[in-house]
């Protein structure tokens, strides 16, 4: 029987005092956080999900995985794309930024399939040399439930995302930062009607990213972007085992 591909999930780090209900004596202890819906999306698509602690060696972590999910979270330090900070709404997490940059270094070198979600799209763009709009207040919808479909996204025909989603998709919107300058090795393959970049894919590597949160939608169990990742990871694993 063919084994399920191993897909690594990147989370984030908090200290105990930031978690409600933690005893005060544990307030200084680091806690790794992984939203379970990312893993559910991978598992439902047939993959085996594993959380990657930020203390892992990024290159070794990627070498052991058949695919990677870069998840949502805090803002990326604007210094990484040569800008001064304009907002402290979701302060950067330097350890995570460094870890994910190294994860993308290793994945790009090996050809490991990567799915970026929300911050993951932004990280892929920054890693590739692009920049971000630091605050797009009109595009975020934190006033509704996370699975609420708030707008349509038009998808480029002939792209990988086009083969995954077709011409359009109704999506949620839980981000306040957006792509400004697109990284040279990426192309935009999905936009909302106001022009916001909603989908990116690498021109030569199996890296695709979406700005919305498919793992939070009611359609998560059948969302084709997770199926794409698991299929790509399965093929990548087979190529390594050949």
Q: What integer pLDDT is reported at residue 20 of this predicted model?
A: 77
Question: pLDDT-based confidence at 14, cuts 50/70/90?
Answer: confident
Residue 216: C-alpha distances to residues 85, 97, 164, 168 (Å): 29, 23, 18, 18
End-to-end CA distance of the chain: 16
Question: 37-46, 84-93, 149-158: lowest mean pLDDT where?
Answer: 84-93
Question: pLDDT-based confidence at 242, cuts 50/70/90?
Answer: confident
3-state secondary structure (DSSP) of residue 137: coil
Q: What is the CATH number of domain 6-241?
A: 3.40.50.880
Catalytic residue ranges: 118, 213, 215
Q: What integer pLDDT is reported at residue 4 of this predicted model?
A: 96
Residue pLDDT, tens place only, 120-135: 999 999 999 999 999 9
Average pLDDT over the chain, rounded to an integer: 93
Q: What integer pLDDT is reported at residue 16 of this predicted model?
A: 62
List CB contacts of 148: < 8 A, sequence separation 6 or more.
141, 172
Q: What integer pLDDT is reported at residue 1 of this predicted model?
A: 58
Q: What integer pLDDT is reported at residue 236 of this predicted model?
A: 97
Question: pLDDT-based confidence at 116, cuts 50/70/90?
Answer: very high
188 has pLDDT over 70: yes
Over residues 111-122, mean pLDDT? 98
Question: 8-12, 86-90, 175-179, 184-188: lowest mean pLDDT where?
Answer: 86-90
Q: What integer pLDDT is reported at residue 26 of this predicted model?
A: 66
**pTM metric for this prediction:** 0.94
- Euclidean distance between CA atoms 156 and 191, whole angstroms: 9
Residue pLDDT, tens place only, 37-81: 999 999 999 999 999 999 999 999 999 999 999 999 999 999 999
140 has pLDDT over 80: no
> Nearest to residue 62, comparing CAs of 207, 186, 184?
207
Handedness of CA 213, 217, 221, 224 (dihedral sign): negative
Check: CB of residue 152 under 8 Å from CB of residue 170: yes
């Amino acid at each position: 029987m063919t084994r399920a591909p191993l897909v690594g999930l990147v989370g984030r780090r908090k200290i105990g005092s930031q978690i409600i209900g933690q005893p005060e004596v544990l307030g200084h202890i680091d806690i790794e956080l992984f939203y379970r819906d990312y893993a559910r999306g991978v598992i439902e698509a047939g993959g085996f999900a594993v959380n990657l602690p930020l203390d892992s060696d990024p290159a070794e972590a990627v070498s052991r995985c058949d695919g990677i999910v870069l998840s949502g979270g805090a803002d990326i330090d604007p210094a990484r794309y040569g800008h001064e900070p304009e907002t402290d709404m979701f302060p950067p997490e330097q350890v995570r930024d460094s870890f994910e940059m190294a994860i993308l270094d290793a994945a790009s070198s090996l050809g490991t399939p990567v799915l970026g979600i929300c911050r993951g799209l932004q990280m892929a763009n920054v890693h590739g040399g692009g920049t971000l709009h630091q605050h797009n207040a009109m595009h975020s919808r934190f006033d509704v439930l996370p699975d609420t479909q708030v707008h349509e996204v038009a998808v480029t025909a002939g792209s990988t995302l086009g083969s995954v989603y077709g011409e359009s998709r109704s999506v949620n919107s839980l981000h306040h930062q957006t792509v400004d300058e697109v990284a040279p090795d990426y192309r935009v393959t999905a936009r909302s009607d106001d022009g916001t970049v909603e989908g990116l894919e690498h021109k030569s590597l199996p890296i695709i990213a979406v700005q919305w949160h498919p793992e939070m939608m009611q359609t998560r169990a059948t969302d084709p972007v997770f199926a794409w990742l698991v299929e790509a990871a399965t093929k990548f694993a087979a190529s390594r085992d050949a």
